[in-house]
Amino acid sequence: MVRLSGAGLPGLKEIEEAESRIRPHVPQTPLEHSRGISELLGREVHLKLETFHPIRVFKIRGAVNKLLTLDQGSLRRGVITASSGNHGFAVAYASRLFGVSSTICVPQNVNPSKLRAIEEQGAEVVRFGSGYDETAENAASLSRKRELTLIHAFNDPVIIAGQGTCGLEISRQLPDLDTAVVAIGGGGLISGVAIALKASLEKVTVLGAETTAIPSMLESIRAGRPTRVVPKPTIADGMQASIPGTLTLEAVMKHVAKVGLVDDAEIRDAMYDLLSRARVLAEPAGAAPLAAMKGSLRGEGGSKLVLVVSGGNVSLSLLSSILKEKESQQ
């Protein structure tokens, strides 16, 4: 195992090292041109399909990178993390892969399909709290009581470097792109992708999409410091961070041109668009970039877009309700 030191943001070198480290366990995901979504937006659109990962979400990148950089003592103690679903699934998957015991703290209202996925990996699951913040506080408390190694979901340079490998792949798959659009929860993915793209390509714009229910990154940008917002209910269970990390805010303020907000109705429409026009099953966070380009970010960016479809772990009940709604409108 290799230990990474330092608490600052990773650079291109650290992201390239992360790619070499995780590649035996995390394959490159496809970048596909979508004629249907291109027609919808009136420009050339490519979809970065993080739904092709073994766990159907980008979080595997950071989780595998993190475990591969922990020392043996930290691994023997076991790891613990807090998650609204996908990060916990990724840590549980990586822990099983490397023979490490894991404890995953999730909120009471966790997505049932994501909860089952975590349990299938053999992790101990602790359900506590009404949202990510309370769950994270519980995980920190348990890590101290049980002397477990705490893994933060996004405010960690090693996690960010792992997520940044997505950006490295995009830069090689479509070196002449001019705009990439990424969803924002805690900001780990957009931070890593933006660092990688801005360091690899001369002229590229990175845009972010955040839910109107929990616009913590946008409010933090306006305030110039991490700012907590009061979360409101949302279908976007992968975008529940009510305050961004210091590292992720720094990266977004430095590398992201604009953050657009999307509401649940816009996300539902975008999920249906991806399914009907591109035959891609996306969870709410994965559809947020398309929702933003149809709405608050319309007119932003250039003529050649990459939309990062960050995950596909959608609950059956939500998917069913969207399909029934669209069927009734036809």
Tokens of 298: 């319309």
Q: What is the mean pLDDT of residues 261-282?
A: 98
Question: Per the domain annotation, does 242 fall within a domain?
Answer: yes
Compute the CA torsion angle 206, 93, 96, 168 (nearest 10 deg): -20
- Provide the pLDDT for residue 130: 87
Domain match, 97 and 193 both = no
Element (H, E) at 82: strand 79-82
Question: Per the domain annotation, does 129 fall within a domain?
Answer: yes
Domain endpoint, select from 117, 151, 185: 151
Give SS3 for 262.
Answer: strand
Question: Per the domain annotation, does 329 fall within a domain?
Answer: no
Domain match, 50 and 199 both = yes
- Provide the pLDDT for residue 28: 98
Domain match, 184 and 310 both = yes
Domain match, 86 and 134 both = yes
Question: Per the domain annotation, does 2 fall within a domain?
Answer: no
The residue that leads in pLDDT, 130 or 24, is 24
Expressed in angstroms, the distance from the first to the final Cα of the chain is 55
Domain match, 23 and 171 both = yes
CATH of the domain at 320: 3.40.50.1100
Domain match, 147 and 214 both = no
Please report which residue ranges of the chain form alpha helices under DSSP H.
12-22, 35-41, 60-69, 72-77, 86-98, 112-120, 132-146, 157-173, 188-200, 216-223, 246-255, 264-278, 284-294, 316-329
* pLDDT class of 7 with cuts at 50, 70, 90: low
Question: Per the domain annotation, does 4 fall within a domain?
Answer: no
- Provide the pLDDT for residue 131: 83
Question: What angle is formed at CA 274 by the lines to CA 112 and CA 260, rounded to 5 degrees?
Answer: 85
- Provide the pLDDT for residue 184: 98
Domain match, 91 and 49 both = no
Task: Name the phi and psi angles at 195, rounded to 5.
Answer: -60, -45
Q: Domain tally for the chain?
A: 2
Domain match, 217 and 293 both = yes
- Provide the pLDDT for residue 106: 96
Domain match, 53 and 34 both = yes
pLDDT surpasses 80 at 6: no
* pLDDT class of 152 with cuts at 50, 70, 90: very high
Domain match, 215 and 162 both = yes
pLDDT surpasses 90 at 2: no
Residue 180 amino acid letter: A
Q: What is the mean pLDDT of residues 222-233?
A: 96
Range of the domain at 258: 12-57+157-324
Q: What is the mean pLDDT of residues 214-220?
A: 98
- Provide the pLDDT for residue 4: 37
Task: Name the phi and psi angles at 79, rounded to 5.
Answer: -115, 155
pLDDT surpasses 80 at 147: yes
Residues 104 and 126 sit within 8 Å (Cβ to Cβ): yes
Domain endpoint, select from 99, 119, 151: 151
Q: What is the mean pLDDT of residues 103-114?
A: 93
Q: What is the mean pLDDT of residues 71-89?
A: 96
Domain match, 102 and 192 both = no
Domain endpoint, select from 151, 172, 190: 151
- Provide the pLDDT for residue 21: 98
The secondary structure of 104-157 as a DSSP string is EEE-TT--HHHHHHHHHTT-EEEE-SSSHHHHHHHHHHHHHHHTPEEE-SSS-H
Domain match, 182 and 279 both = yes
Radius of gyration from C-alpha coordinates of the chain: 18
Instruction: Supply the pTM of this predicted model.
Output: 0.96
